[in-house]
């Protein structure tokens, strides 16, 4: 990042900016003078929501000013408002209302993450990299107060602080940050909902080479299961496997899993506690299957939330 200097401007604080929209203290800046935040983790897509934003700006202009910080070259780094800037450019606007605020690199990261975390839809990859950026920034600027803490304890305290600001528990923050260890091909499948957060976390402990081979396997032969991934975890410290051997491990794990048959027997006495006498076996089976489907959906939803 360029060294930030420039004339100090007394404008709205970041907390005020992220609250109710206000144009107090704004200036109109040439859209060509604003460049994206370095390593901005949030994607700017030309999707349906962007089309709605473009139409809104075309009709009403940019109502909420973007937040930028000045550099020493007369240009500005975007902190909050990448989607608005993109939509404004598509509409053909030459200038955009902005609040100019001087910030340190770490403060800019925190402000950028906090503003974007308010979006309705956030991809797992966006959440993962933004949480990591914020936790690194908080550690760097010395947000912890007990300097006697060990590095590991520091990470725990930082994760708690980051989680509090976005409604996540410490463990959830760490799970999301593990996603940053995934190769792009696998992380894309997490964003697409093809790989659950839980499975993604387990895959993240494997080497990049093994991850590439697993991605190849899924492309050639289909998705892997959690059981197969857990079997591969046994080889996380083994760097001697070949691609063919890894494929064999996945295939053998699948074969063993398919051979396992689970049989649960409920006797008449147990069933009579829940079903009236007039219920037939088919009716009972239908109810049980429905309840299992509901349980599975709730479990998957909870896993993805974690």
Whether 65 is in a domain gets the answer yes
Residue 104: which of 57, 147, 140 has the closest Cα? 140
Distance of CA 9 to the CA centre of its chain: 34
Bridge partners of 78, per DSSP, are: 68
Q: How far apart are CA 237 and CA 207, in angstroms?
A: 9
Q: What is the pLDDT of residues 45-54, one digit of tens each?
A: 899 999 999 9
Whether 250 is in a domain gets the answer yes
Residue 105: which of 144, 69, 81 has the closest Cα? 69
Domain residues for the domain of 90 are 14-104
Whether 118 is in a domain gets the answer no
Claim to verify: residue 247 and residue 284 sit in the same structural domain: no
Q: How far apart are CA 215 and CA 189, in angstroms?
A: 10
Claim to verify: residue 275 and residue 253 sit in the same structural domain: no
Claim to verify: residue 205 and residue 93 sit in the same structural domain: no
Q: How far apart are CA 25 and CA 29, in angstroms?
A: 13
pTM of this structure: 0.68
pLDDT at 255 over 90: no
Claim to verify: residue 93 and residue 148 sit in the same structural domain: no
Q: What is the pLDDT of residues 139-163, one digit of tens each?
A: 876 644 444 444 554 555 678 888 8
Mean pLDDT on 107-120: 86
Residue 175 DSSP one-character state: H
**Number of independent structural domains in the chain:** 3
> What is the token pair recorded at 231?
């079997």
């Amino acid at each position: 990042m360029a060294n930030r200097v420039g004339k100090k401007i007394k404008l709205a604080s970041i907390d005020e900016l992220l609250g109710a929209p206000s144009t107090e203290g704004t200036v109109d800046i040439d859209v060509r003078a604003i460049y994206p935040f370095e390593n901005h983790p949030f994607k700017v897509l030309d999707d349906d929501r962007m089309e709605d934003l473009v139409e809104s700006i075309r009709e009403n202009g940019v109502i909420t000013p973007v937040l930028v910080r000045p550099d020493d070259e007369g240009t500005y780094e975007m902190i909050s408002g990448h989607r608005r800037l993109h939509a404004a450019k598509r509409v053909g606007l030459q200038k955009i209302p902005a609040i100019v605020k001087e910030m340190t690199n770490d403060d800019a990261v925190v402000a950028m993450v906090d503003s974007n975390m308010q979006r309705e839809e956030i991809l797992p990859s966006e959440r993962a990299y933004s949480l990591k950026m914020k936790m690194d920034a908080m550690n760097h600027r010395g947000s912890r107060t007990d300097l006697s803490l060990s590095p590991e304890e520091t990470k725990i305290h930082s994760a708690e602080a980051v989680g509090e600001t976005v409604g996540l528990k410490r463990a959830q923050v760490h799970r999301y940050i593990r996603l940053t260890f995934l190769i792009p091909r696998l992380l894309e499948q997490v964003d697409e909902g093809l790989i659950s957060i839980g499975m993604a976390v387990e895959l993240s402990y494997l080497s990049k080479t093994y991850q590439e081979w697993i991605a190849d396997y899924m492309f050639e032969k289909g998705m892997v299961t959690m059981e197969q991934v857990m079997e591969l975890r046994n080889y996380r410290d083994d760097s001697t496997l070949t691609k063919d051997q890894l494929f064999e491990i996945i295939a053998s794990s699948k074969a063993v899993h398919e051979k396992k048959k689970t049989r649960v027997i409920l006797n008449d006495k147990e069933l009579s506690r829940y079903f009236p006498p007039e219920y037939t076996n088919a009716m009972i089976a239908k109810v049980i299957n429905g309840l299992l489907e509901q349980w599975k959906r709730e479990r998957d939803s909870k896993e993805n939330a974690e």
